[in-house]
Chain A
Amino acid sequence: MYRMKKSHAPALAGLIFIMPLVSACHPDGARPTLSGAELYDSSCKQCHGATGQGQLGITTPAIAGQAAWYVEGQLVKFRTGVRGAHPEDYDGLRMRPMSQQLMNVAEVKAVSAYVATLKPRKQPTTLQGGDATAGAGHYGVCLACHGPDGKGNELLKAPSLVGQHDWYLFSQLKKFKAGVRGKHPKDLTGGQMQPMSMTLVDDQAIKNVLAHISTLSK
């Protein structure tokens, strides 16, 4: 029964040998690049949803179909604290750390390209009392940059508004108006948006223009 009594010494010696050997296989630096889809799955899906449609419960916007240059630009802004670093920007402060899950600019580009391939969808209306015809008038100001079809314009750095939730656009317009978004000195495009948002004098005007925008997406 006790015949193997002396056997622990060699085992011990063997182990002491193994440990530094394994430590020597330092896989650091071997950092394989993940595909955009894998990055989206691991870092974005939980909040923005598998199809990028966003969720009202956690106030995440729809990002499906947004142009790659825009997603990339916003991710860079979040990562560098140009967007989402205002003390009053509750949701922005949640997004800012999430953007830092991406390890480098290459990953930002990859995931942005993937987001652009997701299909935008018409979102259900959640705001009541918006007058689309009155909103069409207000939209005149927006039209110059975001285009008559609301699909945005890369030259003017204006994002697409199609397929976005009305409650999200509402909250962002309010943030622009209050200087919670677009106030950072390095946020040039946000800084352009800020005076534009001022043309919508009150909540009713915002609702009207959002009612019009929702007619743009099908």
Chain B
Amino acid sequence: MSSFPRPIATTRSVTGISTGKLAVWWLIASEIVIFGGVLGSYLMHRIGHPEWASHAAHTNTWAGAFNTLVLLTSSLFAVLAHQAADQKDGKKAAKFLYLTVLGAFTFLIVKSIEWTGEIQAGYTISSHTFWSFYYTAAGIHGVHVLAGAIIMLVIASDAKKGVDLQRVEAVGLYWHFVDIVWIFLFPLLYIAK
């Protein structure tokens, strides 16, 4: 696809913000309302059903806390990758992006171990509405983590060659957003008991 002719439109920047970054901001805006819908519905149910706490008690708070830490660390790497990209150091940016991806996969692995345990204990997506929300909200978030990891791998391989370094910042923005969503999910699904 390298022969793809870029229209002149892509080179303009009336707002002064790069187009890619602008698009990521809009993407984040539309994602906020999606997660807002899930979390809003969950909160409404949760407030109406205090007895759900007995189900929430079976979530693995330590795994959740560890994952929070993993994501926060990976966000730090994303910031470092952005800094490196700003200094036009593609190799270094790629290195930090790979570390971010490592964080993403650690998160997913911990998550899958956690879920396996819970499903074996009989808490499946259809066993109770709390668990339906638990798997749905975390599942949608997990898909975002996976998508972010794949995009970062693509961008890192470009950045290594010094191509499209401005994308490092854009994907970093997206990654911070994914982290912030988790910051909301963690207390709502794990801590509130």
Direct contact of A and B (CB under 8 A): no
- B residues sitting closer than 8 Å to A (CB atoms) are none
